[in-house]
Each structure stands twice: as structure tokens, then as C-alpha cells.
Amino acid sequence: MATQQTPSGPRGLPLVGNTHQWARDPNGFRERCAAEYGPVTNFEMLGWDTYMVTDPDEIERILVSESERFPKHSDSNSELKEIVGDGLITSQGDLWERQREAIQPAFYMDHIREYADIMVSRSEEAAERWRAGEEIEVREEMTRLTLEILVDAMFGRDIDIEERGIYEAVEAFQKPMRPAYQPITFFAPDWTPLPFLRRANRAHEHLHEQIDDIVDQRRARRTALRSERAGDAREQAGRDADRDDLLSMLLDADTEMSDEQIRDEMMTFLFAGHETTALTLTFLWDLLSRNAGARERLHAELDATLDGRPTIEDVFELDYTKAVVKEAMRLYPPAHEIRREPVEDVEIAGYSVPEGSLLVLPTWVMHRDARFWAHPEQFRPERWLDGEGPETDRPDFAYFPFGGGPRHCIGHRFAMTEAQLVVATLASRWELERQYDDLGVSAAVTLQPDGDVTMVPRPR
Ligand code: HEM
């Protein structure tokens, strides 16, 4: 058997290890490590013995073929559990398996078709809100839009996110995860009396109350409808009364879920199901504003394909629009790294990696790696089109914005459909003009723009 080597990495400081280098510039730090130390780099971050892996075949092994040996990183998962509870993104073992099986059908194509109508309606409302020449903050606009779409898909269209304080609460609850707050959030425990942490805790409670209230109302309505009808029609009556929203599907799932479980799943969707898409769209508008050629080609495709309001059928035709979305996620993957933990001592790319360490699979680095991408820093949507892309034989795990294997993103198809329909609806009517020069990005919990993304809509 070949001797396994201990991976090397950048020299750290006593006590803090490499935390200071990583915290100052996570993207640059990870890129430098990959360039200097090869497929596995060892460093110490926030007290964790960390191994960053940049060999695509090994990433596939970790996420897919040997996923059982590499569950989610337990400490990172526990932190997330404090926010979303034991929902799909954090649960493990039998609970996760049962819940994934129960929830998966909500993301089948027939349901995505239903959601498509919501996606277009909400985008049309956003297009109506904008005024020619009046500045908008694009990240805020995309956050509101994707939250409206998600809440409609989760609870049906009669939930008013303003009236119920859901928009404000989600914003407050995600604030500690924003770049400006991260240095403090990293080191301060949740109970520290800092105003933004107190507001986040209150927002958390508010969201729990709202979800409980919506679930109670829904259960009560279903019971009332059932008791109004008799006989065989009874069971069906309760179901027919609801639309095809996610909540109905959880209530109707074969495996009965407790109210607490439903609440954790709903919190998980609020956390995982809109911000990542909002960020993708924010980066996409920035990239389009810098690339006139891509913008013109996108507009030409929309003008030639759409016959009025975009539909789900158009999504299958809009190849360039899809390529724009994929390319935006290549350059700016909202999930900039995926974390795992080996359950035993393992060998990765010839290096020994100990049980219980933190494995980092950096989408940010892989998506910009010159081994797999021609001119990696350039925005080139055509690289995703048959016959136009210059790269061939790219390994599957050179690109994994939605992860891979059994824990891959359940909302993948929802997010891709949503991004395409939002772009199709908005770019049919508006062009967005950038009001700043450079867009700084920070790798916080998700990849985020550093400052305001201010743009001016111009009618097309
Ligand atoms: C552009 C948008 C999105 C991106 C980039 C994204 C990315 C990801 C990634 C990378 C994972 C895997 C994490 C891991 O393996 O540790 C994941 C999981 C997950 N995502 Fe997404 N996501 C997006 C949109 C959505 C949407 C729209 C929803 C729901 C409506 C959603 C719900 C989830 C859930 C519930 C999981 C956990 C799945 C499981 O462990 O079984 N995501 N997402």
C-alpha cells in the first residue's frame, strides 16, 4: 500500500492558527492555498483542523460515491440547527431520509409548473414597481421578490408577508450572517446583548409564531371542511380545499409530521430557499450590466422566444438565458463552500485526513480553476451552449453550485426555473444600469456583495 502523506498548508499563529488569514479574505486565501499546496491543503480555522480538497474526483467521492463516510460537518451543522431546527438541511440519518422522501415530490416537475405561474406573477409586480431612472438597490429587490415567490409556494398566495412582518423578520434574522456582522457573530455568543443579535433572536421567535399560526389556521380549515362533508368525499374534501402549496403537501404526506417538524421544515425553507436565489440574481444583473454582448444576446433570445408573458414552456427554450444563470453561479456560487466531516481516518488524493476534521469543498475555487475553465475570470455564458463552449471533458465536480449526491439541493430545479423566469420577465421590460464601479464580494455564510448594488432601470 502506498504511504500516505500528511498534507501541508500555510503556517499559522499560536492559538488562532490561520483564522486571521482566512477571515481577512476567505476567497483569496482559499485560492492561494489551492495554487500552492495542491489537491489537499491543511490549515486551522476557528479551532478546526481543516482540509480543503480541490481534486474534482475526490470531491465526487466525498459527496456522492462514499457519502456515508462523509456526513455534514457536525459543529457547523449544530450552529445551523440553532437557527432552523431539525429540518431537511440539518437532520441526519433516519429522520433526514424519511423527510427527504416525504418532501421530494413537492419539487417534481408537475409542481414546478404550478410554481412557475407564481414566479412570473411576482416578477411582473416587481417590474411594475420600478420607475424609469429611479435608483433601486438590486439585492434588496431580488430578496423581496424571491421571498414573495417562496412564501407563495410554501403557504399559498393569501399570506401577506408585510402584514405578518415576515419580510422584516427574515431580514433581521439573516443580518448576523451578513459580511459586516460576521466578524462579531463569529466570536460573540448568541446571548450577547448586541442590538442586532437581540433583534435576530426576536425575529426568530416571530417567524416561529407566524409559522405556527399559519399551520394552525390551515389545519382548522381542513378540519372544518372535512366535517361539512360526509362519507367517502370527506378525506378528499379536506385536500381539495388547499392549493398545491408546500404546506399542504407536508400535511398530506404519508408519514405524519408533528407540528414542530413542520415548523422546522418551514424555517429551513425560509433560510435555504430564497437568499441563495436572490444572490444569484443580484450577481447576474451586475454581470449583465458589465457585458453588453451578453445583454444583447439575452434580449434577442427573449424577443424571439416569448409571446407575451413567460411560461414554463419558454424555460425549455431559453437556452441562452439558462446559460447566463449557470455562468453567474459559476463566477459567484452563493454556497461558496460545502463542508463535510470524515467519520474515520481516510485517505484523500494520497494524503491522510483524520476522523472528525473539517473537509472544505470550495465551489469558489473550483469554479474559477484554469484546469477546467478557459479564461475563468470572464463572464462567458456561451461556454454552456452545445458547440460553442471551448472546454471539453470537464469533470462533473468542477462545477457544483447545488452540491451533489444524496444531500444535493432539493430546490435545484425550483431555483433554476425561478431564476430564468425572473430574468425573462424583468429583462423583457427593463435594462439595469450600474451606479458603481467594482462589486466587492465577501464569503460570509453565503457569498455576498460587500456594499449596495445600486442600479437604475431603463425601459427597453
Ligand atoms: C441558486 C439557488 C440555490 C443554491 C445555490 C443552493 C445551494 C444548495 C447547496 C450547495 C446545498 C447542499 C449543501 C450541502 O451539501 O451541505 C443545498 C441544500 C438544500 N437546499 Fe438549496 N440552493 C438554492 C436554492 C434552494 C431553493 C430554492 C430551495 C427550496 C425552495 C432550497 C432548499 C434546500 C434544502 C432544503 C437543502 C437541504 C437538502 C438536504 O440536505 O436534503 N435551495 N442548497
- Residue 451 in any domain: the answer is yes
Average pLDDT over residues 335-358: 97
Pocket test for ligand 1, best of 269, 360, 409 (most atoms within 8 A of CB): 409
| Mean pLDDT lowest among 99-103, 297-301, 398-402 | 99-103
- Quick one: pLDDT band at residue 391, thresholds 50, 70, 90? low
Average pLDDT over residues 206-227: 88
Average pLDDT over residues 302-311: 96
Determine the pLDDT at residue 306.
97
Determine the pLDDT at residue 177.
72
- Quick one: pLDDT band at residue 244, thresholds 50, 70, 90? confident
Q: How do beta strands 48-53 and 358-361 pair?
A: parallel
- Quick one: pLDDT band at residue 313, thresholds 50, 70, 90? very high
Q: Is 44 helix (H, G, I), strand (E, B) or coil?
A: strand
- Quick one: pLDDT band at residue 387, thresholds 50, 70, 90? confident
CB 335 near ligand 1, within 6 Å:
yes
Check pLDDT > 80 for residue 243.
Answer: no
The 10s digit of each residue's pLDDT in 118-144 is 999 999 999 999 999 999 999 999 999
CB 338 near ligand 1, within 6 Å:
yes
Atom of ligand 1 nearest to the CA of 146: 27
Distance CA 90, CA 105 (A): 19
- Residue 452 in any domain: the answer is yes
- Residue 27 in any domain: the answer is yes
CA 146 to ligand 1 centroid distance, Å: 14
Extract the C-alpha cell encoding 342: 470524515
Check pLDDT > 80 for residue 180.
Answer: no
Domain of residue 261 covers: 19-157+243-459
Q: What is the mean pLDDT of the chain?
A: 90
DSSP-assigned states of every residue in 359-404:
EEE-HHHHTT-TTT-SSTTS--GGGGSTTT-S--S--GGG--TT--
Determine the pLDDT at residue 253.
81
Average pLDDT over residues 26-38: 94
The CATH number assigned to the domain holding 99 equals: 1.10.630.10
Cα distance between the two ends of the chain: 65
Check pLDDT > 90 for residue 382.
Answer: yes
- Residue 320 in any domain: the answer is yes
DSSP-assigned states of every residue in 407-423:
GS-TTHHHHHHHHHHHH
Atom of ligand 1 nearest to the CA of 400: 10
Q: CA separation (Å) from 151 to 28, 122, 293, 337?
A: 36, 11, 35, 27
Check pLDDT > 80 for residue 427.
Answer: yes
Residue type at 198? R
- Residue 202 in any domain: the answer is no
CB atoms inside a 10 Å sphere around CB 363: 25
- Residue 7 in any domain: the answer is no
CA 54 to ligand 1 centroid distance, Å: 21
Determine the pLDDT at residue 240.
47
| Total of domains in the chain | 1
Determine the pLDDT at residue 201.
81
Check pLDDT > 60 for residue 1.
Answer: no
